[in-house]
Amino acid sequence: MIRLAVDSNIFFFSLKSHRRDVNPRDVERLLRKLSGDPRVELFVPITVLGESVIESLLGEGGGEHDLSELYRLIGLWGALDLLFLYPNDVVAAVCYQLSKRKEERDDFRLNDTDLVHLGYALAHEMDYFLTEDKALKHVEPYIPKKAKLQVIGLEDVRNIT
């Protein structure tokens, strides 16, 4: 079984994209295909849900996302066969270690939210973390060598099933 955690930007890309290489309909079709694949389990850290909701609520004041997108996301989430990653002691310990490593490396490419999403994926032993966040392309030094987690993008995910 392939255990795949999904980042919030993938969900937002299923609604709209300013990038030429990302077609929202293709992203939604991909999510639905992954959700229906018996070899794949789609997971979402609850922090991803929280980030999506907050970005939509803040967007009402002129940000990138808005409430209509939140309603569309809720519809999509309801249509997908999603499993959720909840906090526990292991998540807390992993997130703490990631934070310490970031501090030691004086690395400002990754924000705290990125590290928490990554921490959930590591703690829950995901095989993949699907994101288009360019900052998360620099996480190799943060992932322990014994961990099986790979951070992948939309192009990469097509090759895992």
Task: Count up the domains in the chain and report the number.
Answer: 1
- Residue by residue, pLDDT tens for the chain (161 residues) are 999 999 999 999 999 988 898 999 999 999 999 999 999 999 999 999 999 999 998 875 566 888 899 999 999 999 999 999 999 999 999 999 999 988 888 777 888 899 999 999 999 999 999 999 988 887 888 898 899 999 999 999 988 87
Identify whether the C-beta of residue 157 lies closer than 8 Å to the C-beta of residue 130. yes
> Could you tell me the CATH number of the domain that includes residue 68?
3.40.50.1010
Distance (Å, rounded) from C-alpha 161 to C-alpha 37? 8
Look up the domain containing 73 and give its range.
3-157
The full DSSP string for 17-69 is -S-TT--HHHHHHHHHHHHH-TTEEEEEEHHHHHHHHHHHHHHTTTSS--HHH
Tell me phi and psi for residue 154, to 5 degrees: -60, -40
Count of CB atoms within 10 A of residue 22's CB? 17
> The tokens of 58 are what?
């803040």
The pTM of this model reads: 0.93
